[in-house]
Structure 1
Amino acid sequence: MQLISTFENNAFLEIAITTLEKKGIKKEDIFAVPLDNRTEERKMFDSIHRSDGTSFIDIGMVFGTAFSVIGASIGFKLAWGPIYWGLIGAFIGFMLGFAIRLYTELVMKKKKRALKGKQSEVVLIVECDEAQSELVETILWHHFALGVAKVK
């Protein structure tokens, strides 16, 4: 039977491995694999196949609508009329809203995209008898495993 678990890369993993060895699990039956950290920077703009749920045009649409109403209202008194000034206001409002959203994503939320300080996890695979599986699972949970799965 195999027990597969994930751990953060810290001292609790080492303590769990040592405890398993003390309880009779051979060193050859314990396999730990650290996952690699992301090397490339996360993409800001979505593609057709991947989306992070962040929209760049939401604030632009709101500002475009508001500025077009204001532009059309003021346009009755101006030379080009309400239609042209409504379109000009919609364009200016959309660009202003888009610029605000772009600024917040680039500057304010850069920490969110950078994933700085996040360490990758370690996958721990333990080969054991079915009689030892409950003990091994208890040890893994006791040493703060993020998840544990059994494979027969």
Structure 2
Amino acid sequence: MQLFSTFEHAIFIEMAISTLEKKGIKKENIFVLPLDNQIGERKVFDTIHRSDGTSLIDIGAALSTAFAVIGASIGFELKLGPIYWGLIGAAVGFLIGFGIRLFTEIVIKKRKRLLKGIHSEVIVIVDCEESQGEMVENILFSHYALGVAKVKG
């Protein structure tokens, strides 16, 4: 029987491995594999097949509405009239809001991702007898495994 488990990159992996070895699992039957981190930059703009769940136009839509109302109100006294000034205000508000959101996604959130230091998970594979499966699963979960899967055979 094989048990596959995932851990965050922490000291709990070493503790789980040493506990498994104390319980009779041989070192040759424990395989630890760290996952690689993403090297490339994350994309800011979404595609039809992939979305990160953040919107770049939310602030632009709000500012567009506000600037359109202000532009239409002031437009009664200006030469082009309220309709044109409302449209101009909407366009300017949208561009300002889009620029603010783009700046926060590219500059500020990039800093947070770098400071956060997100590390990839580690996969631990344990090969054991079926009678030891329950014990190994309990040991892995007690050492904060994110998930455990069993494969009999």
TM-score (norm 1): 0.89
Partner of 1:117: 117
Shift of 1:116: 4.3
Percentage of identical aligned residues = 69
Q: Which amino acid aligns with 2:132?
A: Q
Q: 1:9-67: CA deviations, max 9, x gaps? A: 33321222122122221222211111111111211111121111111111111211221
Which shows bigger deviation, 17-26 or 122-131? Answer: 17-26
Gaps of 5+ in 1: none
Q: Which amino acid aligns with 2:12?
A: F
Distance in 2 between residues matched to 1:22 and 1:61, nearest whole Å? 61
Partner of 1:56: 56
Partner of 1:148: 148
Partner of 2:65: 65
Distance in 2 between residues matched to 1:58 and 1:8, nearest whole Å? 34
Question: 1:1-150 alignment to 2 at 5 Å?
Answer: 1-114=1-114, 116-150=116-150
Q: 1:84-123: CA deviations, max 9, x gaps? A: 2111111111111112212222233223444742222211
Which shows bigger deviation, 99-108 or 35-44? Answer: 99-108
Shift of 1:5: 0.8
Distance in 1 between residues matched to 2:130 and 2:115, nearest whole Å? 39
Matched pairs, number: 152
Distance in 1 between residues matched to 2:107 and 2:23, nearest whole Å? 51
4+ runs of 1 displaced by more than 6 Å?
Answer: none
Gaps of 5+ in 2: none
RMSD: 1.8
TM-score (norm 2): 0.88
Distance in 2 between residues matched to 1:142 and 1:120, nearest whole Å? 20
